[in-house]
């Protein structure tokens, strides 16, 4: 995989981790870094890359909207859907599961 594309994916994973842990102060910086990486990727892409690049842009836009909705939720509502923290063996829900509870 292209190193810049790997950076976009890594930034997305970091964004998920920040959202799941409630680190909202770090989220805007990560979103901006991810956008910059996507623009770098787009600048170096070939015409054959357009389809997957557009899909990645669409997924990022959807992700940004989901993060914005979560960040705007009242704290009590956000706490009600957070993964359990008192059980070390409990598997955290997938991001889609967690977001679908919103």
Q: What tens digit of pLDDT does each residue of 61-70 get?
A: 998 898 888 8
Structural domain that includes position 18 = 3-100
Kindly tell me if the per-residue pLDDT of 99 is higher than 50. Answer: no
Q: What are the structure tokens assigned to 23, written together?
A: 């680190």
Question: What is the structure's pLDDT at 89?
Answer: 42
**33-40 mean pLDDT:** 93
- When divided into structural domains, the chain yields a total of 1
Res 101: pLDDT:
53
CA dist 2 to 6, 32, 36, 40, 64, Å?
A: 6, 20, 15, 11, 23
Q: Which of 1-10, 18-27, 40-49, 52-61 has the lowest mean pLDDT?
A: 1-10
């Amino acid at each position: 995989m292209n190193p810049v594309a790997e950076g976009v994916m890594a930034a997305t994973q970091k964004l998920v981790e920040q959202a799941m842990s409630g680190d909202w102060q770090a989220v805007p910086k990560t979103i901006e870094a991810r956008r910059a990486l996507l623009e770098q990727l787009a600048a170096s892409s070939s015409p054959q890359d357009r389809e997957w690049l557009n899909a990645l842009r669409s997924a990022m836009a959807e992700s940004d909207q989901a993060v914005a909705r979560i960040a705007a939720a009242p704290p009590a509502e956000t706490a009600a859907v957070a993964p359990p923290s008192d059980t070390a063996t409990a598997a955290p829900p997938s991001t889609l599961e967690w977001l679908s509870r919103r």
